[in-house]
A and B are shown apart, each in its own frame.
Chain A
Amino acid sequence: MIRVQHEPFDPGVELARFVASRTDVGGIAVFLGRVRDRAGDTPILAMTLEHYPGMTERKLAEIEAEARRRWPLEDTLVIHRYGRMMPGEPIVMVAVASAHRHAALEACSFLIDWLKTRAPFWKCEETPQGERWVEARTSDELAAARWERRSAASSGQSPAQSSFS
């Protein structure tokens, strides 16, 4: 399931609901991303996430479908917020259920890696010096690319963002 929403969410409640829906699943992996209160030495007062309504949902659905193609998954959940958030607030949650832990852990890692480099979201930080847009990081591109090599011949997905002109 994909949810793109402005409202805050409670990760505990979401996980409990996700787990409750199935009793036949042994392994569940979760990633929770939150707003940090600093970036290096710079205090972060708040963060605003902008997104591209429509394309966001579409890209997340593609990424979810790709995860299900690669691993035997019983269920997936991706929640991503947009709008203004304070330090400590959850931004994104990925939960993956599978009969086996390796599939759950790998698929969870894959989902957040590809989400970070393919879903059209942009972070703007509020610092004591003013607002600034977060720049894309090469380390995120490399993290996403390591899943690329594995399926180079198969999926026919759009190329990694780094190759766009």
Chain B
Amino acid sequence: MRIRYFAWLRQRTGCAEEEIPLPPGVRRLSELKLWLANRHPRLGEALAAKGVVRCAVNQDYVAEDIELSDDDEVAFFPPVTGG
């Protein structure tokens, strides 16, 4: 799967994107977040704070704890500030 980070979350992980196989034991978005929090502790801090990190799966906003598959693109970013 492909994981993408934007804005200051990208600065926290030190990478804009990474390709990883769906980690063992990870089936849902909440489980992926925990796994990524371990991999990138500074991302983990942001994920732990409520309402700071938004999430998109396959380029659509996702609020629910959906099930993931190996060919998903999952993105993490702060609230948007365009316009």
- Interface residue ranges, A against B (CB under 8 Å): 33, 49-52, 54-55, 58, 80, 91-92, 112, 115-124, 133-136, 140, 158-159, 161, 163-165
A123 to chain B, nearest CB (A): 5
A21 to chain B, nearest CB (A): 24
Q: A159-B63, A165-B63 are in contact. Are A119 and B75 (CB under 8 A)?
A: no
Q: Does chain A have a CB within 8 A of B83?
A: yes
Q: Judging by beta carbons under 8 Å apart, are B59 and A55 in contact?
A: yes
Dominant secondary structure of chain B at its interface with chain A: loop
Q: A122-B7, A165-B51 are in contact. Are A158 and B83 (CB under 8 A)?
A: no
Q: Judging by beta carbons under 8 Å apart, are B61 and A122 in contact?
A: no
A5 to chain B, nearest CB (A): 14
27 contacts between A and B (CB under 8 A): A33-B83, A50-B7, A52-B4, A52-B75, A55-B75, A58-B60, A112-B83, A115-B82, A116-B83, A118-B80, A119-B80, A119-B82, A121-B80, A121-B81, A121-B82, A122-B7, A122-B81, A134-B81, A135-B78, A136-B81, A158-B61, A159-B63, A161-B54, A161-B79, A163-B63, A164-B54, A164-B55
**Inter-chain contacts of A52 with B (CB < 8 A):** 4, 6, 56, 59, 75, 77
What's the A-B contact tally at a CB cutoff of 8 Å? 85
A82 to chain B, nearest CB (A): 9
Interface-centre pick from A50, A51, A123, A161 (highest chain B CB count, 10 A): A50
Interface residues contributed by chain B, number (CB under 8 Å): 22
**Inter-chain contacts of B6 with A (CB < 8 A):** 50, 52, 120, 122
Q: Which of B53-76 contact A (CB under 8 A)?
A: 54-56, 59-63, 75
**Inter-chain contacts of A117 with B (CB < 8 A):** 80
Q: A119-B80, A158-B61 are in contact. Are A133 and B8 (CB under 8 A)?
A: yes
B50 to chain A, nearest CB (A): 7
Q: Judging by beta carbons under 8 Å apart, are A122 and B63 in contact?
A: no
A94 to chain B, nearest CB (A): 9
Q: How far is the CA of A45 from the CA of B75 in the complex (A)?
A: 30
